[in-house]
Structure 1
Amino acid sequence: MKKPNFNNNKNQFWLFGNHAVCEALNNDNRIKHQLLVTKNTELNIKLPKTLRKEIVMKEKLDSLLGRDTIHQGIALLVSPLDSLDIEYAYDKKTVLILDQVTDPHNVGAILRSAVAFDIDAVILTDDNSAKESGVLAKSACGALERMPIIRVVNLKRAIEQLKSNDFWCIGFDGDGKRELKDFNFGNKTAIIMGAEGPGMRRLTKEACDEILRISMSPNMESLNVSNATAIALYESYTARISNK
Structure 2
Amino acid sequence: MPAPFRPKPANSGGKRPGGWGRQREDGPPPHRPGDIDEAVLYGVHPVVEALRNPQRRHRRLLATENGAKRLREELGTLPLEPELVRPSEIDRLLTPDAVHQGLYLVCDPLPSPDLGSLPDDAIVLALDQITDPHNVGAILRSAAAFAAAAVIVTIRHSPAATGVLAKSASGALEHVPLIAVRNLGDALDELGKRGFQRIGFDSEGATEFDEIALRRPLVMVMGAEGKGLRQRSRDLCDHIARLEVPGTITSLNVSNATAIALYAASRRR
Q: Same fold (TM over 0.5)?
A: yes
What secondary structure is seen at the aligned counterpart in 2 of 1:65? coil
What secondary structure is seen at the aligned counterpart in 2 of 1:203? helix
Classify 1:187/1:40 alpha carbon distance in 2 versus 1 (closer, same or farther; 3 Å). closer
Superposition pairs of residues 62-101 of structure 1, within 5 angstroms? 62-89=91-118, 91-101=120-130
Q: Does 1:15 align with 2:41?
A: yes
Structure 1 residue ranges without an equivalent (≥5): none
Superposition pairs of residues 48-67 of structure 1, within 5 angstroms? 48=79, 51-67=80-96
Could you tell me how far apart the structure 2 residues matched to 1:172 and 1:66 are? 34
CA contact (8 A) 2:58 2:105 kept: yes
Superposition pairs of residues 188-207 of structure 1, within 5 angstroms? 188-207=217-236
Report deviation, 1:221: 4.4
Runs of 4+ in 1 over 4 A off after TM superposition: none
Report deviation, 1:216: 2.1
The equivalent position to 1:151 in structure 2, one of 180, 197, 200, is 180
Report deviation, 1:92: 4.0
Count the aligned residue pairs: 238
TM-score between the two structures when normalised by the length of structure 2: 0.84
- Residue range with higher mean Cα deviation, 105-114 or 80-89: 80-89
**Matched residue type, 2:88:** E
CA contact (8 A) 2:122 2:216 kept: yes
Q: Does 1:182 align with 2:211?
A: yes
Report deviation, 1:213: 0.6
Q: Does 1:160 align with 2:189?
A: yes
2:78 corresponds to: 47
CA contact (8 A) 2:4 2:89 kept: no
Could you tell me how far apart the structure 2 residues matched to 1:187 and 1:144 are? 24
Report deviation, 1:78: 1.8
CA RMSD of aligned residues (A): 1.6
Could you tell me how far apart the structure 2 residues matched to 1:40 and 1:94 are? 39
Could you tell me how far apart the structure 2 residues matched to 1:183 and 1:192 are? 15
2:260 corresponds to: 231
- Residue range with higher mean Cα deviation, 62-71 or 109-118: 62-71
- Residue range with higher mean Cα deviation, 39-48 or 138-147: 39-48
Report deviation, 1:6: 2.1
Report deviation, 1:68: 2.8
CA contact (8 A) 1:90 1:162 kept: no
CA contact (8 A) 1:92 1:120 kept: no
TM-score between the two structures when normalised by the length of structure 1: 0.92
What secondary structure is seen at the aligned counterpart in 2 of 1:96? strand
Structure 2 residue ranges without an equivalent (≥5): 18-36
Could you tell me how far apart the structure 2 residues matched to 1:131 and 1:236 are? 28
What secondary structure is seen at the aligned counterpart in 2 of 1:64? coil
Report deviation, 1:2: 4.3
Report deviation, 1:203: 0.5
2:245 corresponds to: 216
2:64 corresponds to: 38
CA contact (8 A) 1:90 1:165 kept: no
Classify 1:185/1:47 alpha carbon distance in 2 versus 1 (closer, same or farther; 3 Å). same
CA contact (8 A) 2:2 2:83 kept: no
Could you tell me how far apart the structure 1 residues matched to 2:261 and 2:39 are? 31
- Residue range with higher mean Cα deviation, 144-153 or 9-18: 9-18
Give identity over the alignment, percent.
Answer: 46
Could you tell me how far apart the structure 2 residues matched to 1:179 and 1:98 are? 20
Could you tell me how far apart the structure 1 residues matched to 2:183 and 2:119 are? 17
Report deviation, 1:133: 1.8
- Residue range with higher mean Cα deviation, 5-14 or 80-89: 5-14
Q: Provide Cα deviations, 1:169-228, integer angstroms capped at 9, x if missing partner.
A: 000112312101222223321111011110010011001111111112462141100011
Could you tell me how far apart the structure 1 residues matched to 2:91 and 2:268 are? 45
